[in-house]
Amino acid sequence: MAFWRTPLDAQEIQVTRGTVCIIDDRCKGCGYCIAFCPKDILQFSDKFNRKGYHPPTVTKPGECVNCHYCEIICPEFAIYSVETDSAAASK
């Protein structure tokens, strides 16, 4: 994220990391999670699910910040994110 002035505590802020889980067979391919992901890490996959829709797939797995927005905007209960262990994600 670009800052006009770097916040004084920028070094101390812990950014949480998440893992996106997708339940493919519930998806109806509306694309809301893809359009509104703040990190743009989702896109339609090439494969079909059981109903013939293209579910989303994660393109940059390490960049999810666990904001849960895909989870709360999904009308189908098909996507959610879980927090990954902060020690492992901070590298």
Partner 1 sequence: MTSNPKKLAKQPEHPLDDLIRTERIPHIWCPGCGIGTVFSSCLSAIKATEIPYNKFTMVSGIGCSARGAGYIKLDSFHTTHGRAIPFASGIKMANPELKVIVFSGDGDLFAIGGNHFIHAARRNMDLTVICVNNLTYGMTGGQCAATTPNKAKSTTTPLGNPDAPFNLPLLAYAAGASYVARWTILQTRDLTTAINEAIVRKGFSFIEVLSPCPINYGRRNKEKPLDTLKLYQDRTIIKNGANPALADIDFDKGVVIGKFIDIDRSTCDDRYAELHRPCSDD
Positions in the binding site for partner 1 (CB under 8 A): 21, 23, 25-26, 28-32, 35-36, 51, 53, 69, 71-78, 80
Provide the strand spans (E) within the chain: 18-22, 42-44, 56-58, 79-83
Contact 53, 10 (CB under 8 A): no
Distance of CA 4 to the CA centre of its chain: 26
Which CB atom, from 25 or from 40, has the smaller least distance to partner 1? 25
Distance of closest approach, residue 72 Cβ to partner 1, in angstroms: 4
Which CB atom, from 10 or from 21, has the smaller least distance to partner 1? 21
